[in-house]
Amino acid sequence: MAGGKIRKEKPSSRGAPSSNHYQGGISFHKSKGQHILKNPLLVDSIVQKSGIKSTDVVLEIGPGTGNLTKKLLEAGKMVVAIELDPRMVLELQRRFQGTAFSNRLKVIQGDVLKTDLPYFDICVANIPYQISSPLTFKLLNHQPSFRCAIIMFQREFAMRLVAQPGDTLYCRLSVNTQLYARVSHLLKVGKNNFRPPPKVDSSVVRIEPRKPRPQVNPKEWDGFIRICFIRKNKTLGSIFRIKNVLSMLEKNYKTLQALQQLQNGSSGSTNAEMDILGLGDSKEDHSMDMDDGTDDEMEVEDGDADGEASEFKQKVLAVLKERDYSEKRSSKLSQEEFLHLLSQFNMAGIHFS
């Protein structure tokens, strides 16, 4: 079930019932992100754009009362539905009990973020918006990899997923998601297509995992991208002169050197088997990585007490000089440029995790 951010509902001053909406005798709570699709044409369009085959196992997240579930059952081989609300689980079971679909529907009650996902070919999700980021990366971390996911997101979040270098909404979320998947916008969905209507419009997005998965250490990548997007519209040269950044990188550098001596020169190689769940940081993603700071807010390391830059700082700046990265901005860097710059830092012995 789709929904906006969790908000505390104000009690009614007249003692009237709360603003819950009903379907089949079940009340829906905005505060829990429960918003049911009521437009049958939209449901049909989502199923059609999913490209479901008759042999597909479909994972549905947040089925609610089953309006979309029925169409998914008609299109695929089997539907595995994960639903948190026990009332909705009972409604689903009642709705399809004794029908031709009963043997092809499996309902799992639980929190999808805490549930081990089964095998599936396609995921279709209409979710509470507050779990958008962690769910996206939970799906991308799933093995074996699925064919695609069709997910309803809050529109602004969806636009950040598909944003390209140079776009206003291009941010850390865009870069992290697009490293592991091809993302495309399918449909804009107005708030009036839901019961009860959420506060914001929505969008349907298609996510296709990249195969094979990129050979990048997720923790190393995440540490690197976080630094690049501290101020996405500042030059990388400015960002990597920040005192705290240089201090952290130098500490990593010295630690790694010490470890290499203990391990006879073995280095921290990339580990593609590490999971990518840590990339789904919902709090930071909703902060939208906005570059609203000024140079005055940034502690810039211009040199030591003698006016000469440290040896480590020179090592960092030397990496940035290649391809003139020092004058480039994260807001305009492509996926390939980020990957190349990270590899150059690593080759110089500079690591981010």
**Chain position carrying tokens 């980021």:** 133
Sign of CA dihedral 329, 330, 336, 342: positive
| 260 vs 287: CA distance, rounded Å | 38
Which two three-digit tokens encode residue 152?
A: 């309803």
Closest CA to 289 of 198, 180, 169, 184: 169
Instruction: Give the amino acid at 183.
Output: V
User: Which residues make beta-bridge pairs with 106?
Assistant: 80
**Chain position carrying tokens 């000469």:** 308
| 308 vs 261: CA distance, rounded Å | 29
Write out 219-247 in H/E/C secondary structure.
Answer: HHHHHHHHHHCCCCCCEHHHHCCEHHHHH
Annotated ligand binding at 68? The verdict is no
User: Which residues make beta-bridge pairs with 181?
Assistant: 209
Annotated ligand binding at 35? The verdict is yes
* Range list of H helices, 108-217: 132-141, 155-162, 172-180
Annotated ligand binding at 126? The verdict is yes
Which two three-digit tokens encode residue 235?
A: 């030059």
**Chain position carrying tokens 């997923």:** 161
Residues of each annotated binding site for S-adenosyl-L-methionine: 35, 37, 62, 83, 111, 126
Residues of each annotated binding site: 35, 37, 62, 83, 111, 126
